[in-house]
């Protein structure tokens, strides 16, 4: 008995999942196949996926003699022939829900990540393990087409749904031809040329005619990104150090990157002197050192907001055409700390003392689509030449040196040194989040006396990452919980 082809699509808002479903339905109808489509809206990656379910009866109406097949409105676990996911965690969700079966399902998924709120809100590295999803995809699916389709879409100036449609057609599962799929895109009249480019890229990648590669993959291959002095370092360090050099150079300048390399080389040489060959301590220290050295201040915010890539991404996300005028308003709220951070230490301390106990934050709305507004951010960005002379720079460098000293002093016990290196992850973000991270790291370094077991340092580090109130850290250190003020705000009169 002929059975319907069951296709389930998991997508997120703005990725064109509905348009993709429409293309499928249109191509099937034009080819003469009975087809039915339903969708279930949801908040992708938070309380549920936005899914589109399509059933295509692979026998043309002309051959059915007036009979009408009964098609289902909802997918059934273990009965999906083609599972399509616009992002890796969406693929994982489908696998977890049983829609991917090793004897039946072809899985097509993009390997890029759009991080969920729970991942971003975690105090530590809250990212899901992508490797586990990739392994599950290979194990649970009959066959899998896994590649970074977002990168392909960006390379061809289109949206990811076009690449997904091409991959579906290239997989050979659909009962109609490539030409019929392309005609469906043309009939829709939506960014036809760009959509056809994305479709072709997905088709070629899925059909095995070309090896899909992304800019990120190309950047991570070989030692081309490494400075000459680091190419002789252990291979385990190359990827992290290369990324660190790129980050610190963009953040400040080449001299700042050399400063970063000096610090990494210091730990590497110390490990070599001790005859160690496991470079995990130096690798993790190099990872968090680069992030720490590129701390967020008003200069960094202005730098990021005026990057060409960011401006292009904003236009792409709102679907603006090249001829469209886009109005962009940036919201800034600098405080006294942010202002003091750029001043020389003497002036900064005087300002902080004079304003002690006062909360001052002034909201600023900057129209960066205007010349005046954009130049304001460019002026802020140019202040990075003064960063080395600023109060915040002096504070961060002193804290970094203490952290590096602690790592080096504990190297005879590599496990303890690794815990201190990993503790560099405590310092992140801006404002109160950054200040809390500094306090937590200081508490850990105070407890990291010579001979302190690695397990004890690990307990303190994990406690510091457990909750923003610091309750578990206080318990781990045996100190009273820090009091939290209660602020009562008067309701404004109507």
Q: Please write the tens of the pLDDT for every residue from 74-95.
A: 999 999 999 999 999 899 999 9
Contacts 24+ apart (CB under 8 A), 436-441: 436/468, 436/470, 438/399, 439/470, 440/464, 440/470, 440/473, 441/399, 441/403
3-state SS class at 404: helix
Q: Please write the tens of the pLDDT for every residue from 150-197.
A: 999 989 989 999 999 999 999 999 999 999 999 999 999 878 999 999
CATH 3.40.920.10 domain locations along the chain: 5-216
Mean pLDDT check: name the lowest of 43-47, 280-284, 425-429.
43-47
Has residue 357 got a pLDDT over 90?
no
Q: How confident is the model at residue 34 (pLDDT cuts 50, 70, 90)?
A: very high
Has residue 323 got a pLDDT over 90?
no
Q: Please write the tens of the pLDDT for every residue from 365-397.
A: 889 889 998 998 999 899 899 999 999 999 999
Q: How confident is the model at residue 127 (pLDDT cuts 50, 70, 90)?
A: confident
Has residue 124 got a pLDDT over 90?
no
Q: Please write the tens of the pLDDT for every residue from 93-115.
A: 999 999 999 999 999 999 999 88
**Distance separating the N- and C-terminal Cα atoms of the chain:** 71
Write out the two tokens for 380.
Answer: 């802020």
- The DSSP symbol for 264 reads H
Write out the two tokens for 229.
Answer: 């002095």
- Please give the pLDDT value at position 79: 93
Has residue 1 got a pLDDT over 60?
no
CATH topology classification for 5-216: Pyruvate-ferredoxin Oxidoreductase; domain 3 (3.40.920)
- Please give the pLDDT value at position 48: 54
Has residue 128 got a pLDDT over 80?
yes
State residue 487 phi and psi, 5-degree precision. Answer: -105, 125
Q: How confident is the model at residue 489 (pLDDT cuts 50, 70, 90)?
A: confident
Q: Please write the tens of the pLDDT for every residue from 209-259.
A: 434 333 333 333 445 678 889 999 999 999 999 999 999 999 999 999 999
């Amino acid at each position: 008995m002929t059975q319907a082809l069951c296709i389930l699509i998991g997508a997120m808002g703005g990725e064109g999942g509905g348009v993709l479903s429409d293309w499928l339905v249109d191509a099937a109808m034009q080819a003469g196949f009975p087809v039915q489509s339903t969708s279930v809206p949801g908040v992708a990656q938070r309380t549920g996926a936005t899914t589109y379910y399509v059933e295509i009866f692979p026998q043309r109406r002309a051959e059915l003699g007036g009979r009408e097949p009964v098609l289902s409105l909802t997918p059934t676990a273990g009965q999906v022939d083609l599972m399509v996911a616009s992002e890796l965690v969406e693929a994982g969700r489908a696998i977890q829900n049983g829609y991917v079966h090793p004897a039946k399902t072809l899985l097509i998924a993009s390997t890029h990540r759009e991080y969920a709120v729970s991942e971003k809100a975690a105090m530590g590295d809250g990212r899901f393990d992508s490797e586990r999803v990739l392994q599950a995809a290979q194990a649970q699916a009959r066959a899998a087409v896994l590649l970074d389709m977002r990168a392909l879409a960006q390379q061809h100036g289109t949206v990811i749904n076009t690449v997904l449609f091409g991959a579906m057609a290239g997989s050979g599962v659909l009962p109609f031809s490539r030409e019929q799929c392309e005609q469906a895109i043309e009939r829709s009249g939506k960014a036809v040329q760009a959509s056809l480019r994305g479709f072709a890229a997905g088709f070629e990648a899925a059909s095995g005619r070309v090896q899909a590669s992304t800019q990120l993959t190309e950047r991570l291959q070989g030692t081309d990104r490494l400075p000459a002095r680091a190419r002789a370092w252990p291979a385990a360090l190359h990827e992290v150090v290369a990324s660190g050099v790129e980050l610190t150079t963009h953040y400040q300048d080449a001299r700042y990157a050399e400063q970063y390399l000096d610090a990494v080389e210091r730990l590497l040489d110390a490990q070599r002197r001790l005859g160690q060959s496991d470079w995990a301590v130096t690798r993790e220290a190099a990872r968090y050192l680069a992030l720490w050295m590129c701390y967020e201040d008003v200069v960094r915010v202005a730098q990021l907001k005026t990057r060409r890539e960011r401006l292009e991404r904003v236009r792409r996300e709102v679907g603006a055409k090249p001829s469209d005028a886009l109005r962009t308003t940036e919201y800034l709220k600098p405080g006294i700390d942010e202002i003091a951070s750029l001043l020389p230490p003497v002036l900064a301390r005087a300002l902080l003392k004079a304003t002690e106990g006062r909360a001052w934050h002034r909201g600023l709305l900057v129209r960066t689509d205007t010349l005046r507004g954009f130049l304001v951010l460019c002026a802020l960005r140019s202040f990075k030449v003064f960063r080395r002379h600023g109060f915040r720079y002096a504070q961060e460098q002193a804290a970094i040196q203490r952290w590096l000293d602690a790592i080096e002093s504990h190297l005879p016990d590599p496990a303890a040194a690794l815990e201190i290196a990993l503790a560099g992850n405590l310092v992140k973000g801006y404002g109160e989040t950054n200040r809390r991270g500094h306090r937590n790291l200081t508490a850990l370094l105070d407890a990291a006396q010579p001979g302190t077991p690695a397990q004890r340092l690990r307990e303190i580090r994990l406690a510091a990452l457990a909750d923003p109130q610091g309750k578990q850290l206080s318990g781990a250190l045996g100190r009273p919980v820090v009091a939290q003020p209660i602020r009562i705000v008067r309701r404004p009169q109507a």
